[in-house]
Amino acid sequence: MVDGTTSLYGIIGNPVRHSLSPVMHNAAFTAMSINGIYVPMPVHDVADAVSGLAALGFIGVSVTVPHKKTVMAHLDEIDPVAMRIGAVNTLLFRNHPETGAVTGRGFNTDWLGSNLALAEKMKLPGSRVLILGAGGAARAVGFGLVEAGAEVIISNRSEDTGRALADWLGCQFCLREQLHLIQADGLVNTTSVGMEPDSDALPIEAKLLPDFRVVMDIVYAPLQTALLQKAAAAGCTTIDGLAMLLYQGAVQFKIWTGKQPPQDVMRAALLTELARRTG
């Protein structure tokens, strides 16, 4: 029941209607008997949003596209790792114990989510991982892998963007036409290729998949993307798109509440919602 003591949480972005985060976090609140509610909030002006969230007493907020970078200019503190990545996906609001003023602090949990998902299936230190894409997700995934001691290779359709990310990470860049020369322990697709409605598309030729032991796709609609289906057929261990979403969300929950959430409950809620949406 929502009442005067209910703690407020949510997600800001544009759009956010499609977000699975509300069902995941609300399921955790219910399972742990926490009087909290997590709501999606479409936001155009991020400066006004941060000010309004603080004034309304929100405790924790997720940040999604297109605000992960722009929100940083409107926070009181930014976690050093989030500052290095250059993006924030988690906000924590707290009252100052002496002045009562509300401060907003930013974190990035995306890199932890990807590392935790990959570490379930492979040893990260000393491994070699090819990342497809060079956007915000690739930046977080690449940062996490480098931090874990992995060798990273970036490949992207736009060479300039891809090389810029590779230079930032201090890693190798590979042209798409040279992917047949790459052999690695893992492959991570951070692009939107394969997402509905173009769910038959592949971000890499299927004949190259046997060169990778583990394949992860951050796309979760559909859950079993064409890439994951082809990878499984090629004998690869696969990681679906809910894994990174789940693990980064679990870290967010811990930041906000100080408690470890029930990840099995959260994943079940995500699967139920995906099934509902796909009919």
Question: Which residues form the catalytic set?
Answer: 68
Helical pair 21-31 and 242-257, crossing angle rounded to 10 deg: 50
Q: What type of residue sits at position 144? A: G
CA distance 39 to 4: 16
Q: Report the C-alpha dihedral over residues 160, 166, 171, 177, rounded to 10 degrees.
A: -40
Which letter, b or e, does each residue of 229-265 get, where b requires 16 or more Cβ atoms within 10 Å of its Cβ? ebbeebebebbbbbbbbbbbbbbbbebbbeeebbbee
Q: Residue 251: name the closest of 109, 118, 62, 143 by CA.
A: 109
How many helices (H) does the chain have, and how many strands (E)? 9, 12
Residue 178 burial by Cβ neighbours in a 10 Å radius (0-12, 13-18, 19+):
exposed
